[in-house]
Structure 1
Amino acid sequence: MSPSTARAARTPTATDVRAAAERIAPYARRTPVMRTEVDGRPLTLKLEYLQRTGAFKLRGALNALLGGEPADRVITASGGNHGLGVATAASLLGIRATVYVPETIPEAKAAPLAATGAEIVRVGEQYADAADAARTRAETEGVRYLHAYDDPLVVAGQGTIGLEIAADAPECDTVAVAVGGGGLVAGVRLGAGGRRVVAVEPEGCQSLHAALAAGRPVAGPVDSIAASALGAAILGRVPFEVLSAHPVTPALVSDEEITRAQDRLWEEFRIATEPAAAVPFAAWLAGRVPGENPCLVVCGANADWRRVS
């Protein structure tokens, strides 16, 4: 087994998250937490949408490129945010990046991605189509393929959010996170210091619920307004192994609840999020996030702000 294969096969730990925090500190922002009250209930928001690139994905990309075997080129696939994270991280580190995206990528994500100077290739209608094409090219050309969420270094990098919450908001007893392929929730579970983690999915994109029901990652439908960020058809193997050893509390929200949560975030805080980032808030508004002092991760804001009026 090669070093890269051995690394890919290893399940990340809390120690890996702490190492990731030190590794990415010179490049990633330590995003703030905001303590507030909504509808008479205390609430803390982790403002990760203030991260460079407008989303949390930069953390995992930086950790993977800094912690992996040295390379001058990387290929990835993304619904938008991961690609922007990889392209930005690659630019910071002097690495060439090629990003495959679905043809349906929102322009609010496509435009900043193109501005990084990375090679952009549009393929198919869903993330899975772009990922298949990207992996094929990476194998053909002998270039490293960086998975959006099924990579231990990526998971550990995303976990630095949980580490920051534990340090900056120690009174929080619950952390709620949106779930797509599972990289963020698995990382936060490792980094949050034993706090309860609520894993929230749209009703139309239930990769975690499907994996828990089947006892393994299985493919499922992708149909939600949050699909551009949470549209993984199957949970990653690495996140599944983390969450099998460190269980989380699953929850579901409807598209209508997500839209209302987006509107409330704007009305209450003037935060214009993409649908995926409103998913934890939607679950909290619906009473599906337990805890006396919950923290919700507002994970990204790469949406067209002009839709907000």
Structure 2
Amino acid sequence: MLGLDDIREARERVDGVARHTPLEHSYSFSDLSGAAVHPKLEVFQRTGSFKIRGASNRIATLTDEEQAAGVVTASAGNHAQGVALAATRADVDSVVVMPEHAPIAKVKATRSYGAEVVLHGEDYDTAQARAHEIEADENRTYVHAFDDPTVMAGQGTIGLEIVEDLPDVETVVVPIGGGGLIAGIATAIKATSPDTRVVGVEAEGASSVAQSLEKGSVQELDGVDTIADGIATRRVGERTFPIIEERVDEVVSVSDPDIAVAITTLLERSKTLIEGAGAVPMAAILAEAFEYREDEVIVPVLCGGNIDLNMLRTVIMRGLVESGRYLHFRTTLPDQPGSLERLVEIIADERANIYAIQHDRTSRDSGMTATEVAIDLETRGEEHVATLLDALEANGYAPEVLV
């Protein structure tokens, strides 16, 4: 099983390729949670993600023959970029298979680092199957995204940095997809700071680890559904799972709305752009998905920031909705002059700001003497939304909240 010596050796190999990323106290998230929150900002790593660590360590162990034949891998995006850059730096040819709907930004970045990109399948698992076909056809070495001891060891270098930079850390919170990141970090943490708790976080729509722990063996999901595409895997790794069982103290899950709120809050309060998979540790803290004490020293590993801009727009809107900062509703008005003005006056009196109004006199959902109005509003929180809706109902309207 993976050991501390493996991680220390990996650190020597990736030194000069991977950066020692910042670990900083966040006053904003400490205030919001009541804990002493120190994010590990792996978002500032080369390629925008921790994956360069494991990829560099694996490629550094290739034989001369393996280097000449090249490498192949499958990835939703971050591992793809890590392999592409690490291979290019080592003068090794690389092919990366990505799901057809992988974020455009990650596809472009992977190509820019020098890899040949093949788009195949609906998710990571189907892309992986195609990558193994290429492995056999072209005699390439497959660089697994997580289920490889050298990859795990490379990711574990993050754990060494955490303990060195913050010796009094009490809890480290780590995302889980296939398990390579948390297997490496947990190994490093438990070997150097045994009393530090390690908490793993999955997305609810990709919770293979929780089911596997419950059954006592690796379980495969029928499918995955989450905005956290970087951890959207159907099953945890065969090699990572025993390490998680032995060295991870607790595994929890967070919903997509929780993740959206975390991404939005990180943008607003810390001016830091984090992708869905990278935001799940902060989502778990804000949603209190696990128990922690007041002033407990917690390190959430914010492991990546490569989010597609179209997805970011959707996530920000969802985050605003979940936090009561945006309201979209519809109602019906008498189809007569002045009706819309009276509705708008009530909204103005409640100090809500109008983004857009859609006025439909032909809707089949309203009577012949009525008109339907849909309004988008900027609001100031959940209490403000409740007060506004109460005011509308008190004045005879029947608002239907749409998002």
Which residue of the partner structure matches residue 6 of structure 1? none
User: How many residues align structurally?
Assistant: 298
Output the CA distance in 2 between the equivalents of 1:288 and 1:279.
10
Alignment of 1:94-173 (within 5 A): 94-173=91-170
Q: Displacement of 1:157 after TM fit?
A: 0.5
Q: Displacement of 1:247 after TM fit?
A: 3.2
Q: Displacement of 1:63 after TM fit?
A: 0.6
**TM-score normalised by L of structure 1:** 0.93
Dislocated runs of 4+, deviation >4 Å = none
Residue 272 of structure 1 contacts residue 305 of structure 1 at CA under 8 Å; is this kept in 2?
Answer: no
Alignment of 1:209-228 (within 5 A): 209-220=210-221, 221-226=223-228, 228=229
**295-304 vs 63-72, which deviates more?**
63-72
State the AA in 1 paired with 2:140. V
Which residue of the partner structure matches residue 25 of structure 2? 35
State the AA in 1 paired with 2:124. Y
Are residues 1:238 and 2:239 paired?
yes
Which residue of the partner structure matches residue 308 of structure 2? 304
Output the CA distance in 2 between the equivalents of 1:68 and 1:211.
32
Q: Which runs of 5+ in 1 are unaligned?
A: 1-10
Are residues 1:185 and 2:185 paired?
no
Residue 258 of structure 2 contacts residue 283 of structure 2 at CA under 8 Å; is this kept in 1?
Answer: yes
Say which structure, 1 or 2, has more relative contact order (CA 8 Å, 6+ apart): 1
Output the CA distance in 2 between the equivalents of 1:244 and 1:284.
22
Residue 189 of structure 1 contacts residue 248 of structure 1 at CA under 8 Å; is this kept in 2?
Answer: no
Select 2:299's aligned residue among 279, 295, 299.
Answer: 295
Q: Match of 2:72, SS?
A: strand
Q: Percent identity?
A: 40
State the AA in 1 paired with 2:101. T
1:181-230 deviation line (CA, Å, top 9, x unaligned)? 0000111101123221110001110121121122111111311111x201
Q: Displacement of 1:158 after TM fit?
A: 0.4
Q: Match of 2:38, SS?
A: strand
Are residues 1:22 and 2:16 paired?
no
Q: Match of 1:131, SS?
A: helix
Output the CA distance in 1 between the equivalents of 2:16 and 2:267.
31
Q: Match of 2:178, SS?
A: coil
1:47-93 deviation line (CA, Å, top 9, x unaligned)? 00000000000000001111243423101000010011000000111
Output the CA distance in 2 between the equivalents of 1:150 and 1:69.
20
State the AA in 2 paired with 1:14. L
Instruction: From the CA coordinates, give the structure whose radius of gyration is larger.
Output: 2
Q: Displacement of 1:133 after TM fit?
A: 0.6
Which residue of the partner structure matches residue 274 of structure 2? 273
Which residue of the partner structure matches residue 55 of structure 1? 49
Which residue of the partner structure matches residue 87 of structure 1? 84
Residue 199 of structure 2 contacts residue 248 of structure 2 at CA under 8 Å; is this kept in 1?
Answer: no
Output the CA distance in 2 between the equivalents of 1:106 and 1:273.
14
Output the CA distance in 1 between the equivalents of 2:215 and 2:62.
32
Output the CA distance in 2 between the equivalents of 1:248 and 1:57.
23
**68-77 vs 194-203, which deviates more?**
68-77
1:209-254 deviation line (CA, Å, top 9, x unaligned)? 121122111111311111x201111100111121233233101100
Which residue of the partner structure matches residue 398 of structure 2? none
**TM-score normalised by L of structure 2:** 0.72
Residue 75 of structure 1 contacts residue 99 of structure 1 at CA under 8 Å; is this kept in 2?
Answer: yes
Output the CA distance in 1 between the equivalents of 2:96 and 2:35.
42
Which residue of the partner structure matches residue 285 of structure 2? 284
